[in-house]
Structure 1
Amino acid sequence: MMDHSKNPQAPDPSSVGLGTEGNAEQSATRWKRTVYVLGALLSLFQLYTAFFGAYVSIIQGAIHLGLASALIFLVYPISPAHRDTTWRRIVDLVLAAAAAGACFYIQFNYDRLVDDAILFGYSGMDVVVASTGIVLVLEATRRSVGAPIVIIAVVALMYSLFGNYSPVFTHSGMSWSRLATESFFTTSSVFGTPIQVSATFIYLFLFFGVVLIETNVGKFFTDIAFLAVGRFTGGPAKAAVIASGLQGMVSGSSVSNTVASGSFTIPMMKQAGFRPEFAGATEASASTGGQLAPPVMGAAAFIMAAMTGVPYNEIIVLAAGPAILYFLGVFISVHFEAKRMGITGLRKEDLPRRSIILRKLYLFAPLLVIVLVLLSGRTPTFAALLAIGATIGVSFVSAEDRLDWRSLLGLLQAGARAALPVIAACATAGIIAGTVTITGLGGKLASTVIEIAAGQFSLTLIMTMLACLVLGMGLPTTANYVVTATVAAPILAAHFGTPVIAAHMFVFYFGVLADITPPVCLAAYAGAGIAGANPMRTGVIAFKLAIGALIVPYAFMLNPALLLQDAHIGYYLFSITMLLFSITAASSAMGGFLLVRSTVPERCALFAASLVLISPQPAPIGVGLAILALVVIKQAYRRFAAGGSRG
């Protein structure tokens, strides 16, 4: 979890120019208390409404966004290099008050804004407040998330205003007063589906992740992984894959997961003999997969449930098989690299002690609670509340994990800080998605894509994939999913008869994969930083290790049975097995090793086999299995001829 007291973007009390040292310290203390109180209020509001029931959606979203945006202006400076001064703090306080005021204006004027405005229109003050709210949402997002998503949102707003001058996708255009009020006082833009889901489900699961980290459950997952596979070939890297998968199941964030578990696993991998770039890439690709793994699957999965109408409880079941295959793909890639490099496992004395692990098995309780409650059909809100309670409860079993009252209170602020970038991204993503809906851009893009692809399903899939990866360079996973699910997913579902959940899962997968796709691969950059490696090389290797994330989405688009769509258990298991063969062949082709080092023709043959094995038709599957078998036989003979060496 990010420690903002050490974050260069956070206020530095020691640099405040307030005249005397005593005044500076008092000002810093007051500032910290303000941040603490606002963070605690946000967390308490979310816990209260989760327990007693949420308000009307736009009021729930307004309070949620109002408190969060005020916190962002107090925590994130105008720029990382901006010096902390009295005037800067005054400006940030004014902006924080204005951002909160614009949002709370909705609550205090709800009846008039919802009912009277339909008949009499909005007042001049309404337009001013809405305009202020939009500008401050964009600035809060720029500070906490970055400029790319804000630039896209500004372009979207300009398109809404001046679409009548656009050379392509022309529309009639809008006045600013109409655009501002529709964007800020309705549920079609800022307070659309993303912020509504953030204000109910997402925040609680982010808070749950903070509680897990504070109670050392993440370290427990890492210890289990090292005990399970640390002694085998390439053990540290394999343990990193398992540990990151376990932690990612509940954290749902690729970058933070990379930093949290990578601080321990990456040095262990380097010590075992893996190259720094490979160590950082392994952690990044495994941590990124955490967003694909139930039960949390990152913030976007909750939005997916709202947009598709498929209950979240069902989404986590149908997503389990593909997610497991993704991690198996990374695991297999690591195994081939370890074999190629001749890297063995850890010594017995370097492994965690089994007795300690067995004594702490109770730390699995929160994860079991959340899975069982979700599978029982209860709401994600109820599951998150129970899991938070279970985590705090088990922390009292052991003195080293126990949270004292100060730590418990600190969780309220830590949970709020962890959620700030996600909340800001959801609000701005709502602006982008709202533009697509309000202007009719979605329908125009759909017809254009179909025309360019000439109605070809495979070409449409490739274009959609590229759009997701390109958008992922500037958008967080959640915002990327919102935009592509609004524009691209309906094309796949409406024009090609693809199941809605498969279309949404397709864009979700490639939105996640953007975190390890060069040139902008944030998770890989985080792993490279810990490993002391070249960021771009680390990104390229991470992309190769995550080859399963490229194959799996195409596989379930061609064969929806992989997502449990109209499939009996026998055919589902058969399809999963064929997909595992495909991923194995692709991982081997990328790594250049199967039983021995692969020649270039063998790598080409393995890659060809991986492509045809994703087909649901018997003939291509037979061809793929035959190619794979021939390569295995050829390499087995070469290995036997070399006396069983690795070649």
Structure 2
Amino acid sequence: MAREDNDTHKEDASKSDVAETLNVEKIDDEVVVANERDPKSWRGWFIFTACVAYAAFHLITLNIFPMETWSFRITHVAGALVIGFILMAARKFQDTETGGNVGWSPSKLELLPGIVGGLLILGATLLSLYAAHIVVIQGQMAPPPWVWEYASIGTFAAFIVAILSSWAFKPQAQYFGWYDVILAICSVLVCVYLLINLAALQSRAGVMPTPPDFWISLTGILLIMELTRRVAGMPLVVIALVFIAYSFLGPYLPGILEHSGYRAARFFTYIYTDNGILGPTVAVSSTYIILFIIFAAFLQESRVGEYFVNFAFAVAGRTRGGPAKVAVFSSGLMGMINGTSAGNVVATGSLTIPLMKRVGYRSQSAASIEAAASTGGQIMPPIMGAGAFIMAEITGIKYTELMMSAIIPAILYFAAVFLMVDFEAQKLGMRGLPSSALPRMEEILKKVFLFIPIIILIYTLLSGYSVIRAGTMSLIAAVVVSWLTQHRMGPVRIISALNRASRMAIQLIAVCACAGIIVGVIGLTGVGLRFSSMLLQLADTSQLLALAFAMVISIILGMGMPTTAAYAVAASVIAPGLIRLGIDPLTAHFFVFYYAVISAITPPVALAAYAGAAIAGSDPMRTSVTAFKFGLAAFIVPYMFFYAPGLLLQAEWPEITQNMVTALVGIFLLASAVQAWYFGHARIYVRIPLLIAAISMISGGTYTDIFGIALGIGLFFWQKRFASTEPLEQPKQPAPPPSQQQA
């Protein structure tokens, strides 16, 4: 009897521990990165006010008082630069808990460059104000030539002093570095110059630029690349530098890479036009992306993310390997309100990864499952990680058509990851979480109205409303719905949501602007057409080989970048070549988009896997390899919708239905082959036929589908007769909390 009481006590302790771990209250909290400042007193209020004003500016401009296109995009980029440099330090703080030293005073070493930089930026500012007074107040066409010449050179010189100092001196979390303030002022001066000279620049930039045009454009481009480095790391910056170098090294390169080269003045002024930075990527970030980030911030402020995760736990938490399936489900939901794969991992993985480890998953597997699931959130309609907006801008295809076409590919992706997770759970004998540790479904269903903003978004888009109008109506709905909960959004919470939105938007705006540099180089040099020629040559040998080459290039170009930038770059280089092969533009762009997204879990640079590894405490490289394995079944999906357009709804419904069913069967067989589990442990002589059956179903042909299904059925009877279903390991129970262990 005493032993039974002890066992019951341990079981209750285990359930209690899991229940304590199931704390979703922090799901909607802001994620603070290692180089993000946390200033106090007036500095904190300055950043808060700037963020609120920036988000409000976009809402007002998009819905009430529209601006001229170039002016709006220039202001959009400049505002992000100002907030970004003030908010994000050049490098990580030494003490991540306290954010650096509490007290700060400049050292003697900082005084000299500080004085020089301050004088330079002061002079450039005064000259710019004088020029603005002459043009705006007095109404003259232009100030004397020397004004802009000295102002532009002074701005560039101040930038150089500030950027070198920001790398040299230790940043402080609670104080603004003088060098970052100068970088913010430089961003404002670039904006002022471009706005005042806008009419002239639209005709002469990239054709007959003046020296001030060159210095200002060069400064603006360097500012964008530096902010991108701070918020997204070096990968995208390195790729941008490679493309910039290619613009000048073209005359010295062999074969299809050769071109005549460009003068620096023409090149940099061309890039800072709507052919480059102010082109499609910033056009999307200044409208759709910023609007839906504000929408996501309003959802998070009303704690909808918390509800999404609770909903996922209520649905899938009891099943075998429950937390892993919750990760798949919740990451798909959270992906609708999160703009990056890595951000999705951080938001949901902080809860699901520890729970996966408790029920028996290794740290490496737990992080990998979350990374693969969170990556899929970027292809989940209706928002699709904002990549669909860029696709609509580039292709001219209606966003609603893209959203509908993405439904089946998203289902196939999550089905692939779900099956990989389920087979892993069966192999290892995993169990789900106890019912007492999970939210009650009847309580969850009482708050199902929290899905209303998403439903309104989908309905308005399908009803023919513009994306901006649909997003704004959904945003208002999020506020109204919150009034039915304890997290009612009044004026204070709305202002807080605007502040959160601007902080969330900085990274995506920076990478979109930086991706615009690459897009501009591709357009100027014609390198995209050269890749198209290469694809055509490969297609003469084998169309499958050309697709494989396009897949590899898309993944390589997308490594280390957020979804929007990864797709924008890959689409500019690869998609035109696929279209020249005769592939439908929708299929070509979805093919590229899919692999640009999957690059987040593809070694050696797998940002989503690295984020998961940091939470799980596992080795990043091994985690990325395992994440690649969990997402492997999804790698054949783009080939499926290439050979079977019905998967993109580009066919009649009987064909669409056949394509979807056979694609799901093919993914099931492939996942079984990869995981070595097909109604029991599958040995190598079973896995090889499974792989053959899965591949035979890629083309979507009737005979190949029949062959694959017949082979799968035959292997099913074999497995039922001979395969073992015993788990490789004994099921692991959640460990009791430390307090119970001590007792």
Q: Give the structure-1-normalised TM-score.
A: 0.92
2:588 aligned with 1:562: no
> CA contact under 8 A between 1:66 and 1:101: conserved in structure 2?
no
Q: Could you tell me how far 1:505 is from its partner in structure 2?
A: 0.5
Q: How does 1:271-290 map to 2 (within 5 A)?
A: 271-290=358-377
2:526 to 440, 461, 475: 440
2:392 aligned with 1:380: no
**What's the counterpart of residue 182 of structure 2?**
94
**What's the counterpart of residue 177 of structure 1?**
265
**What's the counterpart of residue 243 of structure 2?**
156
CA distance in 1, matches of 2:183, 2:29: 23
1:35 to 10, 26, 47: 47
> CA contact under 8 A between 1:99 and 1:137: conserved in structure 2?
no
Q: How does 1:174-573 map to 2 (within 5 A)?
A: 174-184=262-272, 186-399=273-486, 401-452=487-538, 454-495=540-581, 497-565=582-650, 567-573=651-657
CA distance in 2, matches of 1:12, 1:575: 52
Specify whether residues 571 and 120 from structure 1 end up closer, same or farther in structure 2 by C-alpha distance, changes over 3 A only: closer
Amino acid at match of 2:664: L
Specify whether residues 218 and 12 from structure 1 end up closer, same or farther in structure 2 by C-alpha distance, changes over 3 A only: closer
**What's the counterpart of residue 122 of structure 2?**
none
Q: How does 1:120-131 map to 2 (within 5 A)?
A: 121-131=208-218
> CA contact under 8 A between 1:340 and 1:646: conserved in structure 2?
yes
Specify whether residues 220 and 303 from structure 1 end up closer, same or farther in structure 2 by C-alpha distance, changes over 3 A only: same
Specify whether residues 5 and 328 from structure 1 end up closer, same or farther in structure 2 by C-alpha distance, changes over 3 A only: closer
- Count of aligned positions: 625
2:223 to 110, 113, 136: 136
2:712 aligned with 1:628: yes
> CA contact under 8 A between 2:315 and 2:441: conserved in structure 1?
no
Q: Could you tell me how far 1:537 is from its partner in structure 2?
A: 2.6
CA distance in 2, matches of 1:151, 1:347: 48
Q: How does 1:554-593 map to 2 (within 5 A)?
A: 554-565=639-650, 567-593=651-677
> CA contact under 8 A between 2:206 and 2:266: conserved in structure 1?
no
Moved more, 200-209 or 4-13: 4-13
Q: Secondary structure at the match of 2:89?
A: coil
Q: Could you tell me how far 1:547 is from its partner in structure 2?
A: 2.5
CA distance in 1, matches of 2:685, 2:68: 62
Amino acid at match of 2:279: G
Moved more, 372-381 or 570-579: 372-381
Q: Could you tell me how far 1:165 is from its partner in structure 2?
A: 2.3
> CA contact under 8 A between 1:40 and 1:412: conserved in structure 2?
yes
CA distance in 2, matches of 1:12, 1:418: 15
> CA contact under 8 A between 1:230 and 1:351: conserved in structure 2?
yes
> CA contact under 8 A between 2:634 and 2:667: conserved in structure 1?
no
Moved more, 83-92 or 156-165: 83-92
CA distance in 1, matches of 2:238, 2:495: 37
Specify whether residues 119 and 517 from structure 1 end up closer, same or farther in structure 2 by C-alpha distance, changes over 3 A only: closer
Moved more, 405-414 or 186-195: 405-414
> CA contact under 8 A between 2:206 and 2:268: conserved in structure 1?
no
CA distance in 2, matches of 1:262, 1:512: 18
CA distance in 1, matches of 2:89, 2:557: 26
CA distance in 2, matches of 1:614, 1:569: 19
Amino acid at match of 2:454: L
Q: Could you tell me how far 1:120 is from its partner in structure 2?
A: 9.5
Q: Could you tell me how far 1:370 is from its partner in structure 2?
A: 0.9
Amino acid at match of 1:39: C
Moved more, 596-605 or 161-170: 161-170
1:67 to 62, 79, 83: 79
Specify whether residues 85 and 8 from structure 1 end up closer, same or farther in structure 2 by C-alpha distance, changes over 3 A only: farther
Identity %: 37
> CA contact under 8 A between 2:229 and 2:237: conserved in structure 1?
yes
CA distance in 1, matches of 2:38, 2:465: 44
Amino acid at match of 1:155: V
The RMSD of aligned alpha carbons is 2.1
Deviations 1:522-576 (A, max 9, x none): 11121222222222232222222222420110111112121122x1101101000
Q: Could you tell me how far 1:381 is from its partner in structure 2?
A: 1.0
> CA contact under 8 A between 1:131 and 1:180: conserved in structure 2?
yes
CA distance in 2, matches of 1:450, 1:119: 31
Q: How does 1:12-51 map to 2 (within 5 A)?
A: 13=39, 28-51=40-63
Q: Could you tell me how far 1:303 is from its partner in structure 2?
A: 0.4
Specify whether residues 637 and 570 from structure 1 end up closer, same or farther in structure 2 by C-alpha distance, changes over 3 A only: same
> CA contact under 8 A between 2:207 and 2:266: conserved in structure 1?
no
CA distance in 2, matches of 1:624, 1:257: 36
CA distance in 2, matches of 1:120, 1:559: 46
> CA contact under 8 A between 1:162 and 1:174: conserved in structure 2?
no
CA distance in 1, matches of 2:238, 2:331: 32
Amino acid at match of 1:111: A
Specify whether residues 375 and 356 from structure 1 end up closer, same or farther in structure 2 by C-alpha distance, changes over 3 A only: same
Q: Could you tell me how far 1:173 is from its partner in structure 2?
A: 1.1
> CA contact under 8 A between 1:99 and 1:133: conserved in structure 2?
yes
Amino acid at match of 1:543: F
CA distance in 2, matches of 1:148, 1:350: 42
2:202 aligned with 1:114: yes
CA distance in 2, matches of 1:436, 1:408: 41
Q: Give the structure-2-normalised TM-score.
A: 0.81
CA distance in 2, matches of 1:11, 1:3: 16
CA distance in 2, matches of 1:120, 1:79: 38
Gaps of 5+ in 2: 1-26, 95-99, 107-113, 115-165, 167-176, 729-743
> CA contact under 8 A between 2:277 and 2:514: conserved in structure 1?
yes
> CA contact under 8 A between 1:2 and 1:418: conserved in structure 2?
no
**What's the counterpart of residue 19 of structure 1?**
none
2:67 to 48, 55, 72: 55
Specify whether residues 540 and 385 from structure 1 end up closer, same or farther in structure 2 by C-alpha distance, changes over 3 A only: same
CA distance in 1, matches of 2:595, 2:105: 42
Deviations 1:337-391 (A, max 9, x none): 1111111222221220233212211111111111111111211111211111111
> CA contact under 8 A between 1:126 and 1:181: conserved in structure 2?
yes
1:11 to 37, 41, 45: 37
Structure with max Cα Rg: 2
CA distance in 1, matches of 2:640, 2:92: 43
> CA contact under 8 A between 2:372 and 2:630: conserved in structure 1?
yes
Amino acid at match of 2:632: I
**What's the counterpart of residue 600 of structure 1?**
684
**What's the counterpart of residue 9 of structure 2?**
none
CA distance in 2, matches of 1:232, 1:304: 37
**What's the counterpart of residue 128 of structure 2?**
none
Deviations 1:113-145 (A, max 9, x none): 225x38994332222211211111111111111
CA distance in 2, matches of 1:603, 1:341: 18
